[in-house]
Amino acid sequence: MDLHPIFRNNRDIEMALRQAMFKAARSGETTMEIIPGKGSGKLKKRVLAFLNQPHIKKLYERFETDPTNDGRVVVHLKS
């Protein structure tokens, strides 16, 4: 999921992340990539804050930032 097109609107970011997480969980996906981009890091902080919400944590086992690409977050969904 690439967040570059909607990076200015907090509501759009939250809704897009929520829809993508629920869709991936429903379809049985094991991983999901979120691409906030490198930039200043503000969008990545929003993504990490979203992932740390208690009701969202129930959908995944863990998440990690790509060690070779700081602008990419990989979420490992519960199966």
Residue numbers of the domain that contains 26:
4-77
Q: What residue type is assigned to position 74 of the chain?
A: V
Question: What's the per-residue H, E or C state across the chain?
Answer: CECHHHCCCHHHHHHHHHHHHHHHHHHCCCEEEEECCCCCCHHHHHHHHHHCCHHHHCCEEEEEEECCEEEEEEEEECC
- Model confidence at 2: pLDDT above 80: no
Q: What is the pLDDT of residues 9-61, one digit of tens each?
A: 788 888 889 999 999 989 999 999 998 888 778 888 899 999 999 999 999 99
Q: What is the pLDDT of residues 54-73, one digit of tens each?
A: 999 999 999 999 888 888 99
Q: Indicate which CATH number applies to the domain containing 65.
A: 3.30.1370.110
The pLDDT value given to residue 76: 95
> pTM for this one?
0.84
- How many separate domains does the chain show? 1
In Å, the largest CA–CA distance within the chain is 33
